[in-house]
Chain A
């Protein structure tokens, strides 16, 4: 049995539809991510699962129990779903320990103390248990919020952009820590984020969303190397789409020469396609006849990221070591090195 199953969820505020047939599922002790730009509906999906929003259509099934239908609606306080909020939302009038114990107030004093000490240890906040939220840092507050949400041992833990209010440096470190903590407690969790690095660091699988629809639900590796559509290709990692034409069997002609790959049968001769070019696919080859012009250059520490323009005006990106500096407007030769090309037909 799956821990969570969400089937064909629709959600609308009045006439403004936010979610279209949202499907999602999560196995026991797995961490899923909802990733997408702001306004893609990921937070709404999370809030519907938590019970703060009532979907117009579809089903949410937790541990085999239906949480909503036309007749029933399980209120959020009855769902046994824990939640960590973007603005942290610790109760300012309660100490760290009291915050963590808030969700287990029906347990005996003994059990409460035992559980809260366990969690304080787990998130490394034991020495701060008597402090109040305003006396600790943002990162520490978010750890306490995580402990508070995990205290009642929820069936599912939801995290709504938990790291977005923190500093950049702290964010990566805490993302890794959160994964360890969740795995140690064997929690099934969903993380909502707009930051792909955060999603890669925390999630077992990632569901990319755009304009209220699921685009691809897959591992980080597959999202990067085998994107299913243009949106995922452009949203995940860096890369651009280079136009080309299907020439012969298994070859595509582009401004930068021919690219070989296994084309599906549906591709016909002279079909127009776009090929995903990642910066690492582009190699400097000065003696090559395929020339491009440098239009922009960004310093990235160990390397420069160059924007290059082909003869027909298409743009591609390319990393080159920062020890070698090329000038804007300079013309250079490049070569494409692609094992399995990803392409989308243009219609």
Chain B
């Protein structure tokens, strides 16, 4: 039974159809890639899955429940987390506060508790701080917990963004071009990180990526999107030799006269 399934998902902006015939499914524990040339509609598809855009028509089922029409925060609470193509950290907050904010949905104390600084408030705040620190330790960021997020090097900002997304305790993570702007060595590290979080947190991952080596290396199945449509679907080996994919990426072959 797939954990996430979309059926005939369509998004139009005025007269422009950005995504159509978007049918994908993700089984639990899979690592799936979504690739396609620039402007193919990958991020639009992501935005529909996370509730940022409302699909024009079609269905999205997450854990056998429709999430169409839900607000992004509700979808997060249901267990879908995401990162952004252009990193969206809380730049002027400390590293640890970035993670603490992700714990917000699990906080039980009320506003009144915090105003009166009740025992419940102090207890929970202490737990949140400890949990956040522990979490940062897993991602080897604990020694920088008090630094501003904006002062971290690029690779660590990516890592923090992924850590922050995982702190919301998701079942499914959508990574939007995590390797964008990274050098080959950083990409290699990221590769290891993605494989590792999947094991460690028992996750299902959907990955948008331009970096072919990354996608071909880690993904079990790949969907290829072009002009808003899924043009191919299969294992990396199948995708590599699929003529429609090669056409989309490299252009048509000119017949030899």
Q: Does B bind A?
A: no
